[in-house]
Amino acid sequence: MIDVREITIAKAHDGFKAGRFSAKDLVGIFLDRIATWDKNGPRINSTMALSTTALDEAAALDDYLEEKGEFKGKLHGIPVLVKDQADTEGMVTTYGSSVAKGNVPDEDAFVVAKLKAAGAVILGKTTLSEWASVWFSVNSANNNEFTKNPYNLKHDVGASSGGSGAAVAANFAILAVGEDTGGSIRVPSSFCNIVGLRPTPGLISRTGFCPLIKVQDTPGPMARTVTDCALMLDCMVGFDPKDDFTGVAATAAALGLPKGGSYAAFLTDGLRKIKGARIGVIWQRFGLISDPYGCAVNEVVFAAIKKLQKAGTTFVDISRMDDLDHYMTYPLTYLQRSRSDINSFLATKPHLPQDIADTLPETSDKPYLNFTCAMAHGPKDPKEDPTYLDRILQRDEFKRKIDCLFASMGLDALALPDVRVPPPRFEDAMTGRFNRGGQEDFPTNTFLASIIRHPAISVPAGFTENGLPVGMEFIGLEYQEQSLLELAYGVENIVRARKSPPGLWEGSCCLI
């Protein structure tokens, strides 16, 4: 008997090879779990459209293995869910808006096609926030229903890749595709006790993804373990002539990355690496002592740091960086260019509205949507905003400062909490808890890596006294995904903070 909770790629492949179960068996039990726990029962609400062909596709992979005696690829028979921001052939794809409820793409996003080529079985689509732009998990395509946190059903999962985070945490799939512009992979990963990687933008193609800020957008892997995250990344990266940002992927390949031919090639060295690493801790972005929510997160991260220090990791105190708060907000250009970037995508979908401004009011009675509404009614051309050039120049200045900080202090990574609070309650979305002076002020730290376009990974750090997950983020330099994954592997094995959601999930989990 095999328990599919916490099952990994390696364990699934071992089962296929030994004949203990088939890909069709595995896909079937994950679909059963989705039906039992996601669509019914507690109704986690992490998935949207589901595949009607997944079982047949899995059966075809079983036939392939039997006939050829080998796997089709690194993800042979592995159940994967895809954020509903990415075009998926034959499945309703909404981009988080009710205006696209009838949108069924006739081809896959580049990344989805690559995953299928590696043998993955796409189970369906996951929930996201409205136009992937809100920190809460609701969207109009899903009738504004929240996605519930598997660790506490009264709490949110974060956004915008919240459905992917919840589904992986609750064992509805082995892997999920996320997308990260300002933290949309890392925030749900932190809130759902999983691993999520934001790679250097351009390492993975965005073709077929509805954009938010093209210069910051990047798909990325979400998984329960660092190893699975690395193996999934192997199957996502690559040059795409339709996305000129993927010159980054071509450059990485020319540099011989990943070393050893796989981002997982040297993961076991991560234990040695983390013990000898120098990690800069940005204390400035920890929660205030006066904030009980911030203190709850701080305690978890402090405990993780102590475990790593005991193992030998050196943490370097970065107590004050001039103008850090300014640099982490001012260079963001959602209000200047998101309307233009989204509209450029809508232009490829003539059956949908051609201007996001036509899909949203200028102001909303839902506080969590006010920023999205303002974004949707921004300038049609970002150059119309007189601050746009200055924001870009300061963005590049900030990147240089961080690069020099790494070099001058001999750092292997920067570390800080992904978010300065635990997963919020649903009512926080409506009360305006994270609005200050009429402006959105969600306490995330993920903007740092996003603005400078560096890779970052979220790793489970532990749980608050109330049982809410907390993640710890590690930021590297450009093209350092492999190094970050190795460090994260060390953290994962020393801190050991990943655990399956509590007893609610006992049923519908076994293969015989």
Q: 3-state SS string over 404-444?
A: HHHHHHCCCEEEEECECCCCCECCHHHHCCCEECCEECCCE
Cα–Cα nearest to 203, from 451, 459, 456: 456
pLDDT tens across the length of the chain (512 residues) = 578 999 999 999 999 999 999 999 999 999 999 999 999 999 999 999 999 999 999 999 999 999 999 999 999 999 999 999 999 999 999 999 999 999 999 999 999 999 999 999 999 999 999 999 999 999 999 999 999 999 999 999 999 999 999 999 999 999 999 999 999 999 999 999 999 999 999 999 999 999 999 999 999 999 999 999 999 999 999 999 999 999 999 999 999 999 999 999 999 999 999 999 999 999 999 999 999 999 999 999 999 999 999 999 999 999 888 999 999 999 999 999 999 999 999 999 999 999 999 999 999 999 999 999 999 999 999 999 999 999 999 999 999 999 999 999 999 999 999 999 999 999 999 998 998 877 789 999 999 999 999 999 999 999 999 999 999 999 999 999 999 999 999 999 999 999 999 865 455 454 43
Is 261 a domain residue?
Answer: no
* Structure token digits, residue 293: 């929510």
In a domain, 384, yes or no: yes
**Cα–Cα distance, 31 to 51 (Å, whole number):** 9
Amino acid at 125: K
Partnered with residue 475 across adjacent β-strands are 414, 456
Is 400 a domain residue? yes
Rg (CA), the chain: 21
Q: Note the pLDDT of residue 432.
A: 87
Catalytic residue IDs? 83, 160, 184
Contact (CB, 8 A) for 235 and 73 = yes
Q: The domain spanning residue 138 has which CATH number?
A: 3.90.1300.10
Q: Measuring CA to CA, which residue among 60, 76, 57 is closest to residue 118?
A: 76
The pLDDT value recorded for residue 510 is 47
* Domain presence at residue 98: yes
How far, in Å, CA of 56 to CA of 318, rounded? Answer: 54
Do the domain assignments include residue 356?
yes
Range of the domain at 149: 2-256+271-501
- What pLDDT does 512 receive? 33
User: Around Cβ 29, how many Cβ atoms within 10 Å?
Assistant: 20
In a domain, 512, yes or no: no
Q: In 3D, which of 249, 163, 161, 235 has the Cα closest to residue 205?
A: 249
**Looking at residue 436, what is its pLDDT?**
81
The structure tokens listed for 501 are 């959601």
Residues 6+ apart with CB under 8 A from 281: 305, 315, 316, 317, 318, 414, 415, 416
Residue 507 within a domain: no
Residue 157 lies in a domain: yes
As a whole number of angstroms, the distance between CA 236 and CA 111 comes to 6
State how many domains the chain has.
1
Cβ atoms of 491 and 277 within 8 Å: the answer is no
Amino acid code (one letter) for 327: Y
In order of 22, 83, 160, 423, 506, the CA distances from 166 in angstroms are 25, 11, 11, 12, 17
CB 327 within 8 A of CB 367: no
Residue 226 backbone phi and psi in degrees, to 5: -65, -40
